[in-house]
């Protein structure tokens, strides 16, 4: 029932908020001023993550119009090697696979646990709550870079047709030209002003894997597996939380997430109205 409730709250909030995109800046915090954006909640299209079934048959996750309940303050870029290294140096983050090399490229080779440790550390350091985004938040922030990849459904009476179709879809995915993490901005900026979405790094979200029944028109979560989290990038994927270096092979085909990295969202730290006013002022200065 959680999802349904969230939707109602979100829709209400969405109706109240004006569809303005703006840059946020928290006073006295140069890092935030440089590094984060405030997105106002406008309505967006969202395909629920997880495995859905109706009357014992697999179905697509429902596609809905959502609005986030409040502004989303989110990092413009993924957390870098240098930023993550400071957390490692203070003994608050595990050393990651991708922590060597240039300091200004995004950190990769991080697990959900590593990313969560960084968020907790940064929250303590700044006094501002930082956390991983939910899948809904990531999809909203990614805007046109989010990909709703509908996969063929498995018919239990003849599952092989869907397996072959899925296999072909997965096999057809393009592999990134470069596998190493690239300097921030390499993969462009989206309409919300965020950099490098859906490049060669998949980003951890905080959303757990759900199995959901849609029987009788009701939405019922039958299993929540938080050992598996949603990762987002050029396609949505589900990843065991301690994995740092994803791969395919064996029975699976297709292109696994090339790298695992992350960006964080910031719990709103100032009234929405102030932020909007400041942002509008800043936008005006720019033009």
Partner 1 sequence: MLTRRTALMGAAIAALMMTAPAVAGPADDLKLPRKKVELVAPPFVHAHEQATKTGPKIVEFKLTIREKEVVIDPAGTKFHAMTFDGSMPGPMMVLHEGDYMELTLVNPATNSMPHNIDLHSATGALGGGALTHVNPGEQVVLRWKATRPGVFVYHCAPEGMIPWHVVSGMHGTVMVLPRDGLKDADGKALRYDKIFYIGENELYVPKDANGKYKTYETIGESYGDTMEVMRKLIPSHVVFNGSVGSLTGKNALTAKVGETVMLVHSQANRDTRPHLIGGHGDYVWEAGKFNNPPQKDLETWFIRGGSAGAALYTFREPGVYAYVNHNLIEAVELGATAHIKVEGKWNEDLMKQVTPPGPIPPDKVGAADPVAVTR
Query: d(Cα 21, Cα 40) in Å, to the nearest integer?
Result: 6
With binding defined as CB under 8 A, does residue 217 bind partner 1?
Answer: no
Query: Which range binds partner 1 by CB under 8 A, 9-17, 23-31, 185-193, 248-256?
Result: 248-256
- Give the one residue of 31, 65, 124, 175 binding partner 1; rule: CB under 8 A: 175
With binding defined as CB under 8 A, does residue 211 bind partner 1?
Answer: yes
Least Å distance, CB 5 to partner 1, is 11
- Give the one residue of 127, 218, 250, 287 binding partner 1; rule: CB under 8 A: 250
With binding defined as CB under 8 A, does residue 227 bind partner 1?
Answer: no
CA 255 to chain centre: 19
Q: Which residues contact 97 (CB under 8 A, 6 or more apart)?
A: 108, 109, 110, 244, 245
Q: Could you tell me the two tokens for 105?
A: 């490229």
Tell me the C-alpha to C-alpha distance, in Å, between residue 220 and each of 34, 35, 54, 267.
Answer: 42, 38, 10, 29
- 3-class DSSP state for residue 171? helix
- Give the one residue of 1, 174, 273, 284 binding partner 1; rule: CB under 8 A: 1
Least Å distance, CB 51 to partner 1, is 8
With binding defined as CB under 8 A, does residue 31 bind partner 1?
Answer: no
Query: d(Cα 286, Cα 282) in Å, to the nearest integer?
Result: 6
Q: Which residues contact 201 (CB under 8 A, 6 or more apart)?
A: 78, 106, 108, 181, 233, 258, 259, 260, 261
With binding defined as CB under 8 A, does residue 242 bind partner 1?
Answer: no
Query: d(Cα 264, Cα 115) in Å, to the nearest integer?
Result: 9
Q: What are phi and psi of 36, to 5 degrees?
A: -125, 160
Query: Which range binds partner 1 by CB under 8 A, 31-39, 70-78, 251-259, 264-272?
Result: 251-259
CA 144 to chain centre: 13
What's the DSSP call for residue 63? E
Least Å distance, CB 179 to partner 1, is 6
Strand partners, 189: 195
Which CB sits closer to partner 1, 33 or 171? 171
60 neighbors 214 (Cβ within 8 angstroms) = no
Query: d(Cα 208, Cα 225) in Å, to the nearest integer?
Result: 6
Which CB sits closer to partner 1, 18 or 160? 160
- Give the one residue of 33, 45, 103, 161 binding partner 1; rule: CB under 8 A: 161
Query: Which range binds partner 1 by CB under 8 A, 20-28, 118-126, 170-178, 278-286?
Result: 170-178
- Give the one residue of 11, 13, 21, 53 binding partner 1; rule: CB under 8 A: 53
- How many Å from the N-terminal Cα to the C-terminal Cα in the chain? 45
Which CB sits closer to partner 1, 222 or 240? 222
Which CB sits closer to partner 1, 97 or 193? 97
Total binding residues for partner 1 by CB under 8 A? 35
Residues within the interface to partner 1 (CB under 8 A): 1-2, 51, 53, 56, 58, 100, 156-161, 163-164, 167-168, 170-172, 175, 179, 211, 213, 220-224, 247, 249-251, 253-254
């Amino acid at each position: 029932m959680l999802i349904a409730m969230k939707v109602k709250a979100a829709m209400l909030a969405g109706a109240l908020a004006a569809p303005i995109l703006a840059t946020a800046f928290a006073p006295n915090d140069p890092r935030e001023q440089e590094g984060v954006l405030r997105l106002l909640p406008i309505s967006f299209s969202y395909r629920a993550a997880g495995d859905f079934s109706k009357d014992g048959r697999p179905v697509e996750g429902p596609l809905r119009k959502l609005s986030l309940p409040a502004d989303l303050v989110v990092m413009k870029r993924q957390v870098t090697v240098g930023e993550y290294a400071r957390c490692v140096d203070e003994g608050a983050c595990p050393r990651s696979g991708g922590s060597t090399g240039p300091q200004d490229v995004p950190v990769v080779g991080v697990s959900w646990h590593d990313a969560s440790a960084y968020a907790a550390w940064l929250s303590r350091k700044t006094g501002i709550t930082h956390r991983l985004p939910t899948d809904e938040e990531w999809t909203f922030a990614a805007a046109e870079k989010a990909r709703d990849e509908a996969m063929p459904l498995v018919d239990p009476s003849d599952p092989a047709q869907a397996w072959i179709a899925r296999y072909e879809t997965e096999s057809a995915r393009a592999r990134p030209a470069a596998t190493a993490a690239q300097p921030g901005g390499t993969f462009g900026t989206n309409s919300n002003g965020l950099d490098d979405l859906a490049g060669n790094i998949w980003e951890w979200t905080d959303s757990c894997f759900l199995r959901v029944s849609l029987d009788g028109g009701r939405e019922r979560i039958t299993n929540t597996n938080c050992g598996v989290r949603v990762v987002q990038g050029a396609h949505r994927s589900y990843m065991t939380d301690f994995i740092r270096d994803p791969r395919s092979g064996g029975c699976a085909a297709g292109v696994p997430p090339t790298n695992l990295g992350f960006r964080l969202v910031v719990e709103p730290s100032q009234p929405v109205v102030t932020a909007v006013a400041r942002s509008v002022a800043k936008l005006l200065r720019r033009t």
